[in-house]
Structure 1
């Protein structure tokens, strides 16, 4: 087994993955360590510049500098000094290729995947030769580690939620990342079309009533409000179905209840079939909103 199995480069302030090495190892512990790397990357801003996570056969090492952290999964037989020497070489290579402004402006995960070629060369150098070619580099790193030893990180001590301490981040705990819903189904498209029809009917009837209200009956203003409220609820149902939102079940139930109450209030202006149609469409939309789950996405993005 190679001494250095996986390398990972992330942005410290938000844990955005910048680059990583491709690997074809199917070691179970390696996969666990890779998940733990992503867990640690979310809390790098409050961790020391250097740290290690000890494992049974594989250990994690990381070193942060200038809002970028360089992380690696290494075999326990690799000396700590050589592991951090690898991270130091990785830092030099990365900073030579990408400046701070490019790193700061990165908006999507893994924008520098081409850096994998450099990572592979470094890994090959360390795995075949056993360390850096310059002994002075290793000596300098060893001296620096003696003065500032890396902190041993215990994942159980990290204040993470939803099982993240075991290397499994809940998607709901990282807003803005991986919040992609499952693909829209045929029934979903049907509900959207029907919701748009209902919304259009509500706003047309509401606008028409507004004209009559100002001319004849001011008491009909409540009917106008019911039509317009039903219109707004239909629009929000479409939004809830298309986009992820917190408290989705509560919001969808509130919208359904509002639509039902509005239509019951308009009982004199709509016949039974119209009421059944509007309430059925709202109910269908609610079921689809609640049952449409977040899509499982691989954080590796193919890496």
Structure 2
């Protein structure tokens, strides 16, 4: 759920308005405002105000930030609250605020919380987003999630660092980590699984030959030993080819092409004296696995949020 919302002026981080319904029944504050202000000032340094949305994770809270024109909207949520709903809340908050207050009104503010009356608008929006079952007909989750996927927010980190006076002060690591819904590969298709099975069969065939060569390497000629080493290399490269097919990683295409060309060379030296049909079969399996690597792309299916 959303615990606290805050709107600041971007040029000097002057707080303009915030939620006020954060007190317990005994009158005490349910949240630590001093800690929140410390975190906000650490993340939103005056000379390093982010131009894009970002967020900060702590042990028990997540802070989301959304710059909009000359203001910055912040929402403090529990860690399990969906990111897509948090940014949808901030966008709606920023839209309502900019409708009610123009740039001149914002720049004219001299004291903190000069526009605190906007809390009457924040409260119903916050209540609505804390009951997401009511949002299905109000917002388009798929569209918002797609926007976050295309332009993911950046994560910032605060670490404790000793100063010269041995006082712990929060330091912000620049937001360089692009995050959002973690990208995954498309599910393995029937062709992908078939190519994996055929590749495993070739690996088993090579393992049998390597074991036979190992048992008789002292009595066989050098050619047999060389063939054993080539089969051993083909095992390693085919395992690597299977790994590239099944796992998301950087430079998949380059790795796939490198493994494909190396395996073609190894297969030629291993099978060029054998039955032509055997050579064709091995080449077809190697090419099929390589084709599956090239055609398997990042999944475009949006995450399923439970609301």
TM-score by length of 2: 0.50
Q: Decide which of 291, 294, 298 is 1:294's aligned counterpart.
A: 298
Counterparts of residues 212-227 of structure 1 (less than 5 Å): 212-227=216-231
Identify the residue that residue 53 of structure 1 maps to in structure 2. 67
Q: Decide which of 116, 126, 133 is 1:81's aligned counterpart.
A: 116
Counterparts of residues 116-265 of structure 1 (less than 5 Å): 119-120=130-131, 168-169=151-152, 174=178, 177-265=181-269
Identify the residue that residue 148 of structure 1 maps to in structure 2. none
Alignment partners' CA distance in 1, 2:180 and 2:233: 30
Q: Which has the higher helix share?
A: 1
Alignment partners' CA distance in 2, 1:204 and 1:61: 65
Assess if the C-alpha contact under 8 Å between 1:63 and 1:87 holds in 2.
no
How far did residue 299 of structure 1 move?
5.0
Assess if the C-alpha contact under 8 Å between 1:181 and 1:292 holds in 2.
yes
Alignment partners' CA distance in 2, 1:205 and 1:258: 20
Aligned pair in 2 of structure 1 residues 266, 51: CA closer, same or farther (>3 Å)? closer
Assess if the C-alpha contact under 8 Å between 2:256 and 2:293 holds in 1.
yes
Alignment partners' CA distance in 1, 2:116 and 2:213: 79
Q: Please list the CA deviations of residues 178-202 of structure 1 after superposition, one character each: whole Å capped at 9, or x if unmatched.
A: 2321122121121111111111111
Q: How many residues align?
A: 198
Identify the residue that residue 53 of structure 2 maps to in structure 1. 40
Aligned pair in 2 of structure 1 residues 51, 266: CA closer, same or farther (>3 Å)? closer
Where does structure 2 lack aligned partners over 5 or more consecutive residues?
5-51, 102-114, 135-146, 154-176
Q: Which has the higher strand share?
A: 2
Assess if the C-alpha contact under 8 Å between 2:256 and 2:294 holds in 1.
yes
Identify the residue that residue 22 of structure 1 maps to in structure 2. none
How far did residue 177 of structure 1 move?
5.0
Aligned pair in 2 of structure 1 residues 231, 83: CA closer, same or farther (>3 Å)? farther
Assess if the C-alpha contact under 8 Å between 1:51 and 1:62 holds in 2.
yes
How far did residue 270 of structure 1 move?
3.1
RMSD: 4.6
Assess if the C-alpha contact under 8 Å between 1:61 and 1:84 holds in 2.
no
How far did residue 7 of structure 1 move?
5.8
Q: Please list the CA deviations of residues 250-286 of structure 1 after superposition, one character each: whole Å capped at 9, or x if unmatched.
A: 1111111111111111236633222211111010111
Aligned pair in 2 of structure 1 residues 117, 86: CA closer, same or farther (>3 Å)? closer
Where does structure 1 lack aligned partners over 5 or more consecutive residues?
1-5, 10-38, 92-115, 124-163
Q: Please list the CA deviations of residues 47-75 of structure 1 after superposition, one character each: whole Å capped at 9, or x if unmatched.
A: xx89652259xx76115699999764211
Assess if the C-alpha contact under 8 Å between 1:249 and 1:290 holds in 2.
yes
Identify the residue that residue 74 of structure 2 maps to in structure 1. 62
Identify the residue that residue 24 of structure 2 maps to in structure 1. none
Assess if the C-alpha contact under 8 Å between 1:61 and 1:83 holds in 2.
no
